[in-house]
Amino acid sequence: MELNFDDVTRYGALLIEGSIFTVVVCVAAGLVGLCLAILFAEGQRRAARALRILIRAYVEFIRNTPFIVQLFFIFFGLPSAGVKIDANTAAFLALTLNVSAYFTEIVRGALETTPKGQYEAGAALGLRPRQVFFHVVLRPALAKVWPALVSQFTLVFLGSAAMSQISAEDLTFAGQFIQSRTFRAFEVYIVVTLIYAGLALAIRSLLLLSGGRLFPWLRGAR
Amino acid sequence: MMKRLLALGTAAALALGLAVPAAASQLDDILEKKKITIAVPQDFAPFGSVGPDLQPEGYDIDVAKLIAENMGVEVELVPVSSANRIPYLQTGKVDLVISSMGATPERAKAIWFTAAYAPFFSAAYGADDLAVSSVADLAGKSVGVTRGSVEDIEISRLVSEDADVKRYEDNGTTIAAYLSGQVDVLVTGNVVAAKIAKDMPDAQVSRKFVLRNSPCFIGLKKGDVDLLQWLNVFIMQKKINGELDALAVKWFGETLPDLPTL
C-alpha cells in the first residue's frame, strides 16, 4: 500500500487548531477540576451531613457512568430541560465535572491519610486553621498523590476525544473531518495518533516536572 | 473471422427486428391482458417497504397502483433490489420499474425513462417561522449536518464563513442536535426529514430551500413510444390535479418540489 500525506498536510491548519483546542479545554478543565476536587474532598470530611451525601452521590455517579453519556446528557439532554449550552462549553463542563470527581477521590484519600499530628503541629506553630490546611496539610497531601493526579489527567486528556461527537472541534474532530474529505483514513489517523502521543507525553512530563517545583522537598526523595 | 462473426450478428439482429410484430405495442399488450407488472422497492422506506400486514407499502407502491387504476388493469407488484431492477426490465419480467430510480446517461443506454415522478433531494429544514430561503440567509445561523455526507460536501461548498456549520458523526446525532435546539437549521435528505416528521409529529421540520435535487424516474423497456407517452401524460396530469402531491404528503410529509420533465 502507498501512503500519501499530501492531503493531510493540506489540512495542517485544522490539525493545529484542533490540537490547541484539545489542550486548552483539557488544561482549563483540569485546573478548575482540581480546585473543585479540593473543595469537595475537604467538604466530604467536614461539611454538613446532607452536603457530604450530595458530594458522595456526585462522585459515585460520575465515576460509574461513561464519559460520552455524561457529555450527551449535557449537550442533548439538558436542552429539553431548557438549558441550552453550545458544544464547546458543554465539552468543557463535562470534562470538568468528570475530572473533578476522580480528583476528589484521589485528594480525599491523601487528606485522610494525613496524620492527626500534622494538624496539631501546625496549630502548635500558631498558624490559623486555614493556614494549617493549605500549608501543612493540603500541600504535602497533593505532593503525595501528584503522580496519581497526573495519570488521571492524562486519561481524561485522551478521553476528551469523545467531545468530537457533539461537534466540538478538537483534534479528533479535525482528524475525522479530514478523513471525510480525503478518504485517507490511514494517513490521517497515523498523524492524529502521533499528535496525541506527543501531546500526552509532553503534558505528562511537564506536569511531573512542575511537581518537583511545586513540592521541592520531593526532589531529593525520588 | 471477426468480420464474418459481425456479419452474422447483424443478420441475426435484422431477422429478430423483423420478427417483432409491428402493430401491437407494449401498451396495447398490457391493456389486452388487463394486467401490468411493476417492479417496486422492498427495503427502502418510504418509497417501498413491507408494512405491518406483510403487504408492500410506500410512495412507489401507491404510484404503481395509481397507474394500474388509471389504465383500468390489474397490477402485479414484483419486489426488486437496486442491483436487479434494470435486468428485470430488460428481460421482460416486468413492464415498469418504479423503484426510486435516478436517471443517468449510463442507465439511459439500457432503458428509457419517463418524466420525474418522485422527489429525492437534499434540503435545509428549520422551524416553521425561521426566515431562511437561500444559502445566503444561513449567515449567523448554526447549521447541523452529518459529517462526510452528500449534504456536508454540498453545504460546505456553498456556505459562507458567516454560517456556523456543525458536523456530527451520524444521522441520529445530527437529528438529536436539531431536535434539542443545538442547531437552527438541519441539512439532510428528504427521506430523513420525512422520517423525523413521521416519528416526531410535534417537531417543526419545514423545508427552507432545496440544496441538491436528484429526483426519481419511472423506467421502461426501450422501444415503446406509446407506453412512454401514456406514462408522461399520466405523471403530468397527476401533478396538475394534486394526486401526486397528496401521495408526497402522505409518505414524505411535504409537498413535491419542482420535478423535471423529459
User: Is there a single domain that holds both residue B126 and residue B206?
Assistant: yes
DSSP state of B30: H
pLDDT, mean over chain A: 93
For the whole model, what pTM was predicted? 0.76
Lowest mean pLDDT among A24-38, A44-58, B19-33: B19-33
Q: What's the whole-number mean pLDDT along residues A162-191?
A: 92
What residues are paired with B206 via a beta bridge?
B126
Set of cell numbers at residue B67: 397507474
What residues are paired with B13 via a beta bridge?
none
Q: Which residues in chain A are closer than 8 Å to B177, comparing Cβ atoms?
A: 75-76, 166-167
Q: Which residues in chain A are closer than 8 Å to B168, comparing Cβ atoms?
A: 165-167
Is the Cβ–Cβ distance between B144 and B186 less than 8 Å? yes
User: What does the alpha-carbon distance between residue B96 and residue A175 come to, in Å, rounded to a whole number?
Assistant: 46
Assess if residue B52 is contained within a domain: yes
Assess if residue B3 is contained within a domain: no
Q: What per-residue confidence (pLDDT) applies to A2?
A: 79
Q: What per-residue confidence (pLDDT) applies to B115?
A: 95
User: What does the alpha-carbon distance between residue B232 and residue B238 come to, in Å, rounded to a whole number?
Assistant: 10
Task: Tell me which H or E stretch contains A201.
Answer: helix A185-214
User: Is there a single domain that holds both residue B102 and residue B225?
Assistant: yes
A83 touches chain B (CB under 8 A): no
Task: Tell me which H or E stretch contains B209.
Answer: strand B206-213
Q: What per-residue confidence (pLDDT) applies to B5?
A: 55
As to burial, measured by CB atoms within 10 angstroms (0-12 exposed, 13-18 middle, 19+ buried), residue A201 is exposed
Assess if residue B36 is contained within a domain: yes
Handedness of CA B76, B77, B79, B83 (dihedral sign): positive
Residues 6+ apart with CB under 8 A from B89: B39, B96, B97, B111, B219, B220, B221
User: Is there a single domain that holds both residue B55 and residue B107?
Assistant: yes
For the cut 60, the answer to whether the pLDDT of residue A178 exceeds it is yes
Q: What per-residue confidence (pLDDT) applies to B2?
A: 53
Residue pLDDT, tens place only, B82-106:
888 999 999 999 999 999 999 989 8
More confident residue, A3 or A21: A21
A80 touches chain B (CB under 8 A): yes
Set of cell numbers at residue B29: 399488450
Number of H helices, E strands in chain B: 10, 13
Assess if residue B20 is contained within a domain: no
CB-based contact A79 B181, cutoff 8 Å: yes
User: What does the alpha-carbon distance between residue A71 and residue A90 come to, in Å, rounded to a whole number?
Assistant: 7
For the cut 70, the answer to whether the pLDDT of residue A65 exceeds it is yes
Residues of the domain holding B98: 25-120+214-252
User: Is there a single domain that holds both residue B29 and residue B108?
Assistant: yes
Residue B214 half-sphere exposure toward CB, CA atoms < 13 A: 11
Residue pLDDT, tens place only, A117-158:
999 999 999 999 999 999 999 999 999 999 999 999 999 999
> Which phi and psi angles does B147 have, rounded to 5°?
-60, 130
CB-based contact B147 A177, cutoff 8 Å: yes
Could you give the C-alpha distances from B21 to A32, B12, B24, B28, B169, in angstroms and in order? 86, 16, 7, 12, 57
Percent of chain A with pLDDT over 90: 81
What's domain A12-214's architecture?
Orthogonal Bundle (1.10)
B168 touches chain A (CB under 8 A): yes
Task: Tell me which H or E stretch contains B193.
Answer: helix B190-199
Confidence of residue A61 (pLDDT cuts 50, 70, 90): very high
Assess if residue B72 is contained within a domain: yes
Q: What per-residue confidence (pLDDT) applies to B213?
A: 87
Task: Tell me which H or E stretch contains A103.
Answer: helix A87-112
- Give the residue among B169, B192, B167, B182 at the shortest CA–CA distance from A68: B169
User: Is there a single domain that holds both residue B137 and residue B58?
Assistant: no
Nearest to A177 among B144, B167, B180 (CB): B167
Nearest to A167 among B148, B166, B180 (CB): B166
ipTM: 0.74
User: Is there a single domain that holds both residue B218 and residue B116?
Assistant: yes
Domain count, chain B: 2
Assess if residue B8 is contained within a domain: no
CATH of the domain at B126: 3.40.190.10
User: Is there a single domain that holds both residue B104 and residue B131?
Assistant: no
- Give the residue among B163, B159, B117 at the shortest CA–CA distance from B140: B163
Ranges of each domain in chain A: 12-214
Instruction: Tell me the Ramachandran region of residue A206: left when phi exceeds 0, alpha when psi lies from -120 to 50, beta otherwise.
Output: alpha
* Segments of chain B with pLDDT less than 50: 18-23
- Give the residue among A148, A143, A149 at the shortest CA–CA distance from A221: A143
Residue B9 half-sphere exposure toward CB, CA atoms < 13 A: 6
**Which residue in this structure is represented by grid cell 435535487?**
B213
Identify the three-state secondary structure at position A62: helix
More confident residue, A192 or B200: A192
B203 touches chain A (CB under 8 A): no
Residue pLDDT, tens place only, A81-120:
888 899 999 999 999 999 999 999 999 999 999 999 999 9
Q: What per-residue confidence (pLDDT) applies to B65?
A: 96
B171 touches chain A (CB under 8 A): no
